[in-house]
Structure 1
Amino acid sequence: MYGISTYALNTHPLNEALEMISGLTGYAEIMDEGCHFLQSPEPLQSYSLRYSIHAPSRSVNIASTLEPIRKASVEVIDDCFAIAAEVGADVVIHPGYFAWETDIERARRQFHRSIEELSGMAQERSIRYYVENMAWEYFLLRTPDELPLPEGPGFALDVGHAHIMGCLPQFLKERIDHFHLHDNDGRSDTHQAVGAGTIDFAAVMEAVGMSGIDPVIEVGSIEGAIESFIVLDQIC
């Protein structure tokens, strides 16, 4: 089964997005941002879908060198964990970023501190969570040499981000616990439909098949998600 991220319908109300996704698949990943920000599990409980949740990321930074911001970011993600526990969802988080090159080691220590706290919270709520690789400048976890992660979370491979960084084949050799599928030209994070860019999805789907994990299609439109289904079915 392929999941579809609500990112494909991020300008639609969440109930409309879930209605459309439920007509295509039984698995939705909630992009917990903007008009899909979750304040309770109730919107999800109205549908017989399996869920994962992409925790808020654009307004949080678990690697912040400013301790009040780091602590608040952890609290925001724990709120997401609480909702995930109610609906049996796994959670994907971003690793955070640093503002200045000279801050990278401090940011990495803050990231590890946040992971230690979040892992305790996840264990208390009996949920699983994963850290996603990034491609944007100043973010942590851009290349495989930053693995393995601290003990606690799994690893979420975003194939589009890895392709931009030129290290997708290396990432595919790592243990992967969650997949985000989208395409691009190797330069910009465009979240195109699978097959519209230059990613070798035959290699990606071989890794997906070996893992036994249901991947999430994280593209910019519902039409792109449908196109991705077609291309992936041809590959598999």
Structure 2
Amino acid sequence: MIYISHLLPDHEMNEIIEQTGVGIESIEFSIADNLDHLNDSIGSYRERLKFMDCRGLTLHGPFMNIDPAAFDSEVRKITMMRFHQTYTAGMELGAKKIIYHTCMNPYVHYLQGWPERVAEFFGEFLEKHKELEVVMENVFDPQIDPVLDVYKLLGEKYPNFHLCFDMGHAHCYSKIPVLEWTEKLAPYVTHVHVHDNNGDRDSHAALGAGNIPYERVLGLLPETRERTWTIECCSKKDVLQSIRVLHNISRTRKENLQRSRELFDIKLPNC
């Protein structure tokens, strides 16, 4: 399943959905003002989803001014409340997944003890939120292992918890090559944020417009029943270009798989 981030006007979202049949990843409930008026926001967005002819929905959680690793108990309470509000919206609107950031800030957080604090927060959250899949997304994270450590601390106990891999973030915010990020996280990734950049800034460009080796990255993330993709581009043209790329890669994979099956089915002649 391919989703597109709701970064475009509603009428353009509708046009793309009518043309391609993709779903929507909403950022509506990552915005504090909308969470402050949650019932009204859910009602109005439900009508917008009807207008856009939504075929499937994921929600992006809040990420501004919150911190799952916070030592300040009040910051932690606010973070938990905002996470809960987005989850409530997801339940009301029929979302399949909720995406939350790690909220790692390398200029603020010490890596020592960070995975344990984040895992403690998400564990408490997941104890009361078991219906929808929750995926944790890398953003400013400079290293792979702390993200992976959070999953290892939680994955076995909470089957609805997985990772969201953002290839654009890994490419521009970490010195570790994006292919190494992909290879290490791939077994635990059930959602992928798809966009391109040149490694200098988070430009959210179309696949092929930057220098991410996207074919190799996506080659390490083969299609599974659980894995989904969201295209995070800021223009209709870039979204459509990226959808075409994903479809072409999927088509090539299926053709190669079919060829392999045909080769294995060839019967050797009798000697």
TM tier, shorter chain?
A: 0.7 to 0.9
Query: 1:140-195 CA distances to partner (integer Å, 9 max, x unpaired)?
Result: x4432121323132110001112222332222223211100000112211111111
Matched, 1:215 2:229: yes
Is there any run of 5+ residues in structure 2 with no aligned partner, and where? 251-271
In structure 2, what residue type is equivalent to 1:131?
A: M
Aligned to 1:160: 168
Q: Is the 8 A contact 2:166 2:192 kept in 1?
A: yes
Inter-CA distance 94–197: structure 2 relative to 1 (3 Å threshold) = same
1:193 to 201, 206, 213: 206
In structure 2, what residue type is equivalent to 1:133?
A: N
Query: 1:44-90 CA distances to partner (integer Å, 9 max, x unpaired)?
Result: 36344211111011232222222101111111111111121221421
Q: Is the 8 A contact 2:4 2:22 kept in 1?
A: no
Aligned to 1:22: 17
- Aligned to 1:52, the other structure's residue is in SS state strand
Cα RMSD for the two superposed structures: 2.6
Q: Between Structure 1 and Structure 2, whose CA radius of gyration is higher?
A: 2
Q: Is the 8 A contact 1:30 1:36 kept in 2?
A: no
Q: In structure 1, how many angstroms separate the alpha carbons of the residues matched to 2:126 and 2:205?
A: 33
Query: 1:172-231 CA distances to partner (integer Å, 9 max, x unpaired)?
Result: 223211100000112211111111001112122223334342311011222210121233
Q: Is the 8 A contact 2:99 2:135 kept in 1?
A: yes
Query: 1:101-129 CA distances to partner (integer Å, 9 max, x unpaired)?
Result: 57544654432221111111221xx1110
Is there any run of 5+ residues in structure 1 with no aligned partner, and where? none
Pairs within 5 Å for 1:1-236: 1-7=1-7, 9=8, 12=9, 15-16=10-11, 18-23=13-18, 24-31=20-27, 32-34=29-31, 37=34, 39-40=38-39, 41-42=42-43, 43-44=45-46, 46=50, 47-86=53-92, 87-97=94-104, 103-105=110-112, 107-123=114-130, 126-134=131-139, 136=140, 141-146=141-146, 147-148=148-149, 149=151, 150-151=153-154, 152=158, 153-164=161-172, 165=174, 166-173=176-183, 174=185, 175=187, 176-212=189-225, 213-236=227-250
Identity among equivalent pairs (%): 20
TM-score (norm 1): 0.82
Q: Is the 8 A contact 2:3 2:23 kept in 1?
A: yes
Indicate the structure with greater helix content.
2
